[in-house]
């Protein structure tokens, strides 16, 4: 078999001649399939608890070894996909059929100028080694990503689709000739494997710095939004007391409509209080005039007439003031009703948007569930932590 590094996306692959010129340092072509007993048994250095097995154990993973009968690649992929390797011949056949349909993507990478027809004919035979071109074809045909673990090397990820959050199949490449399946360390079931890479930051200090920067940016944005809210309330109410407006906004949880109405109420209370303070003075004047009239007796007709006229004038002014007050009160009630109606409309719109969002999320969840094959409810996704990964 050929190491996974030999394969790349067709769009970036070189022609047969270009590959021959750069064979010493560039990507290699897919090696011609060979009839062999391939996939030798594990070497002592990596068998048991050593080598790659030790490396995987540190991640909470282990090797599930498959027979080294030349079908190891399709057996390992089948174990990941279905929980067992019994369908390796079907996976091989489907992979070869996909390569024939997409001949233009794979033909430039057949090694030693072997005719493409002969290459795929050999690859279709059971027990024939399969290499990089077969992994790419399998990943694309199943619309999944294949992640390859190697000893003391970054993970290799062969992307079978541009979609995000797709299923990953994790296999191990050992001794330059054999593939095994990778499982959770306590997974001895015949259920599909669900592993997914989780990229880690190179150092925690960078992560802390990013978090601090995000926090500072968030605080700046919040302060700007608060200042804008204060200006909007001041403009709508004509109130110039910024401290009062800020306090009311905080009390109303920064709801603009509620804050504006509260400011109107405060202004109305201040106006009524001011009028009530001015009423005792006019009442005192009226009492003085009445007392003067009584003191002068019936002979004080002029004073009595003036007092009566003044009283009538004051009554008219009070009546007009009450009329103006009622008019303003009615106007405030109308404004409040309008604001309340608008607030109810906005709340209804938010509820509709939330219902729509929940519906979309539910549809996406159902779609993702339907795309999985034989999902085991007890087999949750396990994150495979890694510092680096190379995408092919």
* Exposed/middle/buried for residue 331 (C-beta within 10 Å: 0-12, 13-18, 19+): exposed
Q: Are residues 139 and 16 in the same domain?
A: yes
d(CA 119, CA 31): 9
**Is residue 278 included in any domain, yes or no?**
yes
Give the integer Cα–Cα distance in Å for 91 and 96: 9
Same domain, 35 and 98: yes
Q: How do 389-391 and 195-199 pair as beta strands? A: unpaired
Instruction: Copy the structure tokens of residue 144.
Output: 């999944």
* 115 assigned to some structural domain: yes
The 3-class SS string of 258-293 reads HHHHHHHHHHHHHHHHHHHHHHHHHHHHHHHHHHHH
351 within domain boundaries: no
Residue 307 is part of which domain span? 206-341
Q: Which of 69, 84, 234, 376 is catalytic?
A: 69
Query: In this structure, are 13 and 100 located in the same domain?
Result: yes
pLDDT at 375: 43
Concerning whether 178 is annotated as a catalytic residue, the answer is yes
Q: Could you give the CA distance from residue 392 to residue 387 in angstroms, rounded to a whole number?
A: 17
pLDDT at 93: 98
* Active-site residue (options: 7, 72, 239, 293): 72
Verify that 140 and 219 share a domain, yes or no.
Answer: no
Q: How many structural domains is the chain composed of? A: 2
Picking from 21, 128, 18, 22, the residue whose alpha carbon sits closest to that of residue 73 is 128
Q: In terms of domains, do 187 and 212 share one?
A: no
- Kindly state whether residues 254 and 226 are assigned to the same domain: yes
In a domain? residue 141: yes
Give a yes or no: residue 346 inside a domain.
Answer: no
**In this structure, is residue 62 part of a structural domain?**
yes
Helix axes 242-251, 256-296, angle to 10 degrees: 120
Whether residues 52 and 129 fall in one domain: yes
Q: Is the pTM of this model over 0.75?
A: no
187 and 211 part of one domain: no
Indicate whether 108 and 240 sit together in one domain.
Answer: no
Active-site residue flag, 69: yes
Residue 230 covered by a domain: yes
| CATH at 126 | 3.90.70.80
Alpha-carbon span 223 to 23, nearest angstrom: 59
Among candidate residues 7, 178, 239, 293, the one labeled active-site is: 178
Q: Specify whether 184 is located in the same domain as 303.
A: no
In a domain, 362, yes or no: no
- 256 and 283 share one domain: yes
- pLDDT mean values, one per 10 residues, the chain (392 residues): 39 37 38 40 42 92 95 98 96 98 93 89 96 95 96 93 93 94 95 88 58 68 82 87 86 84 83 73 50 47 56 67 64 68 82 82 64 46 71 70
Question: Are residues 151 and 210 both part of a single domain?
Answer: no
């Amino acid at each position: 078999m050929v190491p996974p590094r030999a394969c790349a996306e067709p769009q970036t692959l070189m022609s047969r001649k270009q590959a021959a010129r750069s064979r010493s340092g560039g990507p290699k072509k897919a090696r011609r399939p060979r009839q062999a007993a391939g996939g030798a048994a594990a070497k002592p250095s990596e068998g048991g608890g050593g080598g790659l097995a030790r490396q995987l154990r540190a991640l909470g993973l282990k090797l599930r070894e498959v027979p080294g009968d030349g079908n190891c690649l399709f057996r390992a992929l089948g174990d990941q996909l279905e929980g067992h390797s019994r369908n390796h011949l079907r996976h091989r056949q489907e992979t070869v059929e996909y390569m024939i349909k997409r001949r233009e993507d794979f033909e430039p990478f057949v090694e030693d100028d072997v005719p493409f027809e002969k290459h795929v004919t050999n690859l279709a035979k059971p027990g024939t080694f399969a290499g990089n071109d077969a992994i790419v074809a399998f990943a694309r045909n199943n619309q999944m990503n294949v992640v390859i673990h190697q000893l003391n090397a970054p993970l290799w990820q062969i992307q079978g689709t541009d979609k995000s959050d797709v299923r990953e199949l994790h296999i191990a490449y050992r001794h330059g000739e054999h593939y095994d399946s990778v499982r959770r360390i306590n997974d001895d079931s015949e259920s599909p494997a669900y592993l997914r890479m989780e990229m880690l930051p190179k150092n925690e200090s960078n992560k802390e710095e990013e978090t601090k920067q995000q926090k500072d940016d968030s605080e700046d944005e919040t302060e700007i939004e608060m200042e804008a809210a204060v200006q909007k309330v001041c403009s709508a109410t004509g109130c110039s007391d910024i401290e009062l407006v800020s306090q009311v906004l905080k009390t109303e949880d920064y709801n603009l409509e509620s804050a504006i109405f509260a400011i109107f109420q405060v202004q109305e209370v201040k106006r009524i209080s001011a009028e009530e303070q001015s009423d005792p003075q006019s009442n005192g004047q009226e009492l003085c005039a009445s007392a003067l009239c009584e003191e002068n007796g019936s002979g004080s007709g002029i004073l009595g007439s003036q007092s009566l006229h003044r009283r009538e004038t004051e009554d008219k002014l009070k009546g007009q003031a009450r009329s103006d007050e009622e008019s303003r009160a009615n106007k405030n009630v109308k404004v409040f009703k309008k604001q309340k109606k608008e607030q109810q409309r906005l709340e209804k719109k938010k509820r509709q948007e939330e219902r729509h969002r929940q519906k979309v999320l539910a549809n996406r969840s159902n779609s993702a569930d339907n795309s999985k094959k034989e999902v085991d409810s007890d087999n949750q996704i396990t994150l495979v932590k890694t510092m680096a990964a190379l995408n092919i």
